[in-house]
Amino acid sequence: MMNTTEETKKHILELLKSVMDPEIELNIVDLGLIYNLEIEDKKINIDMTLSTPACPLGDAIVINVKETLKQHYPDYEVNVNVVFDPPWNPSLISEEGKAKLGM
């Protein structure tokens, strides 16, 4: 089979790079907000966090994740679970992300 789970995961992460944190102006993947991604049967399960629990844009980011994936995986059920444990910290930002932020 061409499209293995690992490839799907990679593709999903690539798609999620279009979802921006509008405040930090960096995508949620490079920001390190995606904690876990599982694919089982026709379900995509994502554990993700926000850069701050008080983030007023949290709702919009979660909707953005769901809608982006629904466009490309219409037959899948997308579950997004927002967690704050462990809390996000800047060390989770990817090297690419750090470069974009000028860190």
Partner 1 sequence: MNNLQTDNAPSITVVKPHFIFAGIAFFISTVLIVLADNDLLGPYFGVKIVAITHIAVLGWGTMIIFGALYQLIPIVFETALFSERLAKINFWLFALSISLLGYSFWVNSLTGLLFYSSLLLLISLLMFITNVLLTHKSSKKKNIQSKFIITSIYWLLVTVILGTLIALNFRFAFFEKTYLHYLKIHAHAGLVGWFLLLIIGVASTLIPMFFVSHNLNEKKINYSYYFINSGLLLMVIEWLFFGTDNLAYIDWLLISTGVFLFLSFAWDSYKQRLRKNLDTGMKHTVISLLLLTVPVLISIFLLINFNIERIFLMRITTLYGFSIIFGFITSLILGQTYKTLPFIIWLEKYKKHVGKAKTPMPKDLYSETLAVYQMYLYLGALAVLTAALISNAVLLIRTGSYLLLATAIIYNINLFKIVLHKTKTEKL
Q: Which residues of this protein are in contact with partner 1, per CB under 8 A?
A: 19-20, 22-25, 50-60, 62-68, 70-71, 80-82, 84, 89-90, 93, 101-103
Which class for 44: exposed (0-12), middle (13-18), buried (19 or more C-beta within 10 A)? buried
Kindly state the smallest distance separating residue 41's Cβ from partner 1, in Å: 22
Kindly state the smallest distance separating residue 51's Cβ from partner 1, in Å: 6
Kindly state the smallest distance separating residue 56's Cβ from partner 1, in Å: 6
Q: How far apart (Å, rounded) are the C-alpha atoms in residues 4 and 91?
A: 30
The contacts of residue 23 (CB under 8 Å, 6+ apart) are 51, 55, 57
Looking at beta carbons only, is 5 or 52 nearer to partner 1?
A: 52
